[in-house]
Chain A
Amino acid sequence: MEAFIQPGFWIFVLALAGIYGVFSLGLQIQYGVGGIMNFGHVGMMAVSGYTIAVLVIKYQWSFWWAALLGVVLAAFLGALLGLTTLRLSGDYFAIASIAFAEIVRYWILNSDDTTGGTQGTLAIPSPEGFASYTGQPDVILNWISERLYPIIGDEASRDLSMVLIVWPFFFLFIWISSRLQKTSWARVLRATREDDDVPRSLGKNVFRFRLQTLIIGSVFGGIAGVFWAVQFALLAPEDFLRIVTFYGWMILILAGSTRVKGLFVAAIFFGFLYGATRFLEFWPLSLLSSPERAYLRVFLIGLVIVLLMVKRPQGLFGKRQEMILE
């Protein structure tokens, strides 16, 4: 249990929470406002992350330009997903979006020469023979660590520097998103969540509103991918399995999908669940082998979602009244 009182553990939890928080902001505007069930969100994160890795390692791009292009590509992919499948009704779109993210992952998996294939970004062929893409952001992370070292000593880790960068962005994005959700644009979007015919009959181009939302959410997914790429410093196809999308959904359900501001608490709770399962070594869990314990994470997160759906469908911060109106 003493792992839980280590500052390093909580710093890691916060770093993870910040990244997943930004990720779930995308799902929040898509589902919580627009009612779009996107189960392929992880694809956006994979695209921006891999765009950085490939362009920096293989083509010596600047990290910053690569990151920018990564986010643009994620937005572009959101548009592509929307233009091809958003006219499908809700359930069918959800299925199509899963397939979409799987296509992205399979493409990464099978393009060894570009992406490193199964071995991940370490195997991307590099003219310099050294497959790292975090050189430029590391300069900043180190700079922060060096400033903090005289004050807090060894706790001045790379994770802490990440927390100090990711969280201000996370709060900024929460703020932007909540402002956006107070506009009349969002009001129309909320209407489309319940019924297409009413906004259509009032002159609103429902498809445009949905497509815009999908793209905005994809931008958040892409930005989360940039943070992820820096945090872990290498990427592999199995980082972008379907389950990652559902981690984002868990945060959303926990927070209450219609309330953007609850998201950061839910993200920390998720980060804790995710990080803590590594340390569940006490009896009776110690009877399980360590790979088995890794599955506990998925199990626990599933359990939390089910319990929430039953006991508090509006999430921790949502309004119950919104759930029961007929």
Chain B
Amino acid sequence: MENTNTIESAVLDVRNISVSFGGVKPVQDVSFSIKENSFTSVIGPNGAGKTSLFNLLSGMNKVSSGEIIFKGEAIQSIHAHKIAQKGLVRTFQGAKVIRRLTVAENLMMAVQGNPGDNLMGFLNPRARKSFETKAREEAMRRLDQVGLTKFADEYAGILSGGQRKLLDLSRALMADPKMLLLDEPFAGVNPTLVEKLLTVLAALRKEQSITFLLIEHDLETVMNISDRVIVMADGKIIADGLPNSIYENDLVIDAYLGSRRKDA
């Protein structure tokens, strides 16, 4: 792999990470390096270990071995919330929303450095209020971006599956990420909306120079937006390169056909 010559501008550097739960080894000796402001997709059949990989990168599970370097700092053993504070933010497969908070509150919760999040902030209502006002404004802007404005003050629990995905994505953006890890943001979303989301992501990459690592089931969907595709199967990386080169890779074809044979 071409790790050595890209390491200078690498925002994320994953070095030989593995995890095992008892006998199960969802991620085995995975290494790759992500360039700043790049867009990389991770594809692979069900159970390949993609979500497990994200759980490691975001600190929600800890690696059994290996190192994860984010912006020059080893993060493999620090708490998940600290990793998010550093700007490495993830979303969840299937979109998790807080059902009993309103849509706007779901977003406002994500803002970093809120003095009101701290109990001491209780004693400084002025700072708290002005921060809230700004957070609300930003939330409304984000909602407008994904067409959810009219749901701002409804409980997020009333949103449909597709709308929850939009909310999940907007919420991650509210957290001011340097790099976003998106776990199957398009699964179960209608094709028109997928197109729209892809446009939104491309714009974000350009305007806010966010680096993207995105899990997708289907290579077709991310073909155009990705400048690199990593293919996983059985916990390992089996191919890594330009989207076009992935198409012709025998290992990839095997992995997909293999999984289809198992499913049948």
Contact = CB atoms under 8 A, between A and B. Distances in A.
B239 interface: no
A201 B98 contact: no
Interface in B110-133: 110, 112, 114, 116-119, 121-122, 128, 131-132
Contacts of B90: 201
A65 B159 CA distance: 53
Interface stretch (B27-35, B101-109, B217-225, B250-258): B101-109
Nearest to A195: B96
Nearest to A202: B110
B100 A190 contact: yes
Interface centre among A188, A206, A322 (most CB of B within 10 A): A188
B116 A183 contact: yes
B109 A202 contact: yes
Given A201-B58, A202-B89, A188 B109 contact: yes
Contacts of B85: 203
Contacts of B121: 183-185
Nearest to B135: A184
Contacts, number: 94
A35 to B, nearest CB: 10
A184 B99 contact: no
A200 B81 contact: yes
Chain A interface bracket (under 10, 10 to 19, 20 to 34, 35 or more): 20 to 34
Main secondary structure of the interface of A (DSSP, over half): helix
A187 B128 contact: no
Interface string B205-218: 00000000000000
Contacts of A190: 98, 100-101
Interface centre among A183, A190, A194, A321 (most CB of B within 10 A): A183
Given A197-B60, A201-B58, A203-B85, A184 B109 contact: yes
A325 interface: yes
A185 B96 contact: no
A191 B156 CA distance: 12
Interface of B: 58, 60, 79-82, 84-85, 89-92, 96-101, 105, 108-110, 112, 114, 116-119, 121-122, 128, 131-132, 135, 155, 157-158, 171-172, 175
Given A183-B121, A202-B84, A203-B89, 17 more contacts: A184-B131, A185-B121, A187-B105, A190-B101, A193-B100, A194-B100, A201-B80, A201-B89, A202-B81, A202-B109, A202-B171, A203-B112, A321-B155, A322-B155, A325-B99, A325-B155, A326-B157
24 contacts: A184-B109, A184-B116, A184-B117, A184-B132, A187-B101, A187-B109, A193-B100, A195-B96, A198-B97, A199-B109, A200-B60, A200-B80, A201-B58, A201-B91, A202-B84, A202-B109, A202-B110, A203-B82, A203-B89, A203-B112, A204-B117, A206-B81, A322-B100, A326-B157
